[in-house]
Amino acid sequence: MRVHLGACVLVVLLAAWLGVGREEWACLLLAMGMVTAAEAVNTAIEGLCDFIEEGHNAQIGKIKDIAAGAVLLAAVFAAAVGAVVFLPRLLGCIEMLQRYI
């Protein structure tokens, strides 16, 4: 969860620095919320599974893997949203810097 929250802080700082528009802010916020919500649900599922079954159980392990996979999937799509929003601006900044070098 800390990694995701740290990424959220970086996204907010980068978006503010690059001056993204309202619609892009909305997309970024939805993506960040999606990952944070998925992480919270994953944490709840893992806690519940650990409460129900203290020892190793293959079915519980599969359930935990599926929940963790959902977080990964949300993070991949959030990264795609970030790429769509940030890459054109970052490439423009690099291009502008190359003109001055």
**pLDDT for residue 98 is more than 90:** no
**pLDDT for residue 100 is more than 90:** no
Round to whole Å and give the CA distance between 99 and 39: 42
Q: How far is CA 29 from the centre of its chain?
A: 10
Domain count, the chain: 1
Q: What is the pLDDT of residue 50?
A: 93
What is the domain-level CATH number for residue 59?
A: 1.10.287.3610
pLDDT band for position 42 (cuts 50, 70, 90): very high
pLDDT digits (tens, 9 = 90+) for 24-35: 999 999 999 999
Query: Among 23, 39, 54, 95, which one carries the catalytic annotation?
Result: 39
Give 5-62 as a DSSP string. Answer: HHHHHHHHHHHHHHT--HHHHHHHHHHHHHHHHHHHHHHHHHHHHHHH-SS--HHHHH
**pLDDT for residue 69 is more than 90:** yes
Q: What is the pLDDT of residue 83?
A: 97
Q: Which domain holds residue 56?
A: 2-100
Round to whole Å and give the CA distance between 101 and 82: 28
Residue with tokens 């993204």: 20
CB 27 within 8 A of CB 11: no
**pLDDT for residue 1 is more than 90:** no
The alpha-carbon radius of gyration of the chain (Å, integer) is 18
pLDDT band for position 51 (cuts 50, 70, 90): very high
Residue 39 among the catalytic residues: yes
Q: For 101, which DSSP code?
A: -
